[in-house]
Amino acid sequence: MGYRLRTIYILIPLFVLLFVPAALPAYESGLAENVRSPIPPPSLKVSSWLLMDSRTGTIIAAENQNKLVEPASLSKLMTAYVVFQQIQRGMLGLDEEVTVSERAWKTVGSRMFIEPGDRVRVEDLLLGLIVQSGNDAAVALAEHVAGSEAGFADLMNQAAVKMSLKNSHFVNSTGLPHPDHFSTAYDISEITRTIIQEQPEHYGYYAIPEFTWNGITQKNRNPLLARDNKVDGVKTGHTKSAGYCLVGSAERNNMRLIASVMGDHDERSRANSVYSLLKYGFAAYEFHHLYGNQVPILRADVLKSTVESIPVGISQGIDLLLSKDSGASLEAKVQLSESLVAPLEPGQEVGTLTVQLKDAVLVTRQLIALSPAPSASWLGGLTDSLRLWMR
């Protein structure tokens, strides 16, 4: 009896070791193992999902991030991006009037309820596009900008190339189903990140709670705007074939996250899925802005120069996403060249900066001179020459 009991006692740990890890949810991440949070991301029953840090573009966690899916009305993120880009370039004005075509009016699906022959301001059409998710508004804008929806789709695809999106192709401005119209959770997240970074003056449109046109008031379809005041975007999407999709973004403690869910089974579930990803990100991670571009980190002594020292920094700043409360273990080590001798020019390498977390190297940057160090006269540099000779 005692032998059998000891055998069972040994087999239970073996069973756990062999089978429990396989039951844990696997996920993709762009974070190194030594900076990942021990807290696992939520398990979502959707086609694909992704959680991204907006500032660095770091993928915190994802599943099937590059799986080709129908983006449905999330396509309108690229539609809005292209229109706002035309406005930024001075080629289009918010008060400019658009004549609504019969084709735009007849477009099926969600509607702003514009009428053929109406003259509608670009800004009103953008509100109909973003807040009401109007397919009619999308086509009207596309035809006004490019002359045809097909021409506008070319502009969308050109923008996708400039964003380095490798798995997206757009055929229309609405997101209505088409076999050649597709994207991924990663690409949709990257479009959103580009909007936030490149079009901050227009990003506020995505948080407008409702818009009225033609006597019809429609609420923003993103329910997270009303659930949490830290959520300020971004867009919903749905067709029968695509399922329920949602991209949400929020900012807390100087960290902005983007969460994308594709192919959920109903409206409530997609909202809960995105919100759970955002809550997880803020609970498990923190953002650290360590050094800026061309910002002095220290002053370094210079020999044989008309100046005694120069400011030293890095050309590319350092931003890190780390597991919560690990920032206290960060260390920065500076190694300057043995002797800095004039002349030195701005941008010239003068040493190395290394950032470590518990002895693991996270980032290495070349230190550069941030101002010139002209050579001293022969007499002025004589003392330093003797110092160098005696070393």
Q: What is the DSSP string of 202-242?
A: TGGGGG--EEEETTEEEE-S-THHHH-TTEEEEEEEEETTT
d(CA 226, CA 212): 18
Helix H segments across the chain? 2-23, 75-88, 102-106, 122-130, 135-146, 149-162, 185-198, 224-227, 267-284, 382-390
Instruction: Reply yes or no on whether 230 is catalytic.
Output: no
DSSP letter at 98 equals E
d(CA 113, CA 106): 10
With 0.85 as the threshold, say if the pTM is over it.
yes
User: Is 292-390 the same fold as 33-286?
Assistant: no
User: Burial level of 24, CB count in 10 A (0-12/13-18/19+)?
Assistant: exposed
Domains in the chain: boundaries: 33-286, 292-390
Residue identified by tokens 């406005």 is 87
pLDDT number for residue 379: 55
- Report the CATH architecture of 292-390: Sandwich (2.60)
pLDDT number for residue 14: 31
Q: Which of 47, 73, 173, 273 is catalytic?
A: 73
pLDDT number for residue 381: 52
d(CA 83, CA 78): 9
The CATH number of domain 33-286, selected from 3.30.2020.30, 2.60.40.10, 3.40.710.10, 1.10.150.120: 3.40.710.10
Q: Which of 75, 101, 133, 276 is catalytic?
A: 133
Residue identified by tokens 């088409």 is 178
Instruction: Reply yes or no on whether 219 is catalytic.
Output: no
Q: Which of 75, 76, 183, 305 is catalytic?
A: 76
Residue 281, φ and ψ in degrees, nearest 5: -60, -45
Residue 147 has, within 13 A of its CA and on its CB side, a CA count of 2
d(CA 42, CA 274): 10
pLDDT number for residue 390: 53
Mean pLDDT for back-to-back runs of 10 residues, the chain (391 residues): 33 34 67 94 97 97 98 98 98 98 98 97 98 98 98 98 98 98 98 98 98 97 96 97 98 96 97 98 96 94 92 95 92 91 94 93 95 80 53 54
Instruction: Reply yes or no on whether 67 is catalytic.
Output: no
Chain length of the chain: 391
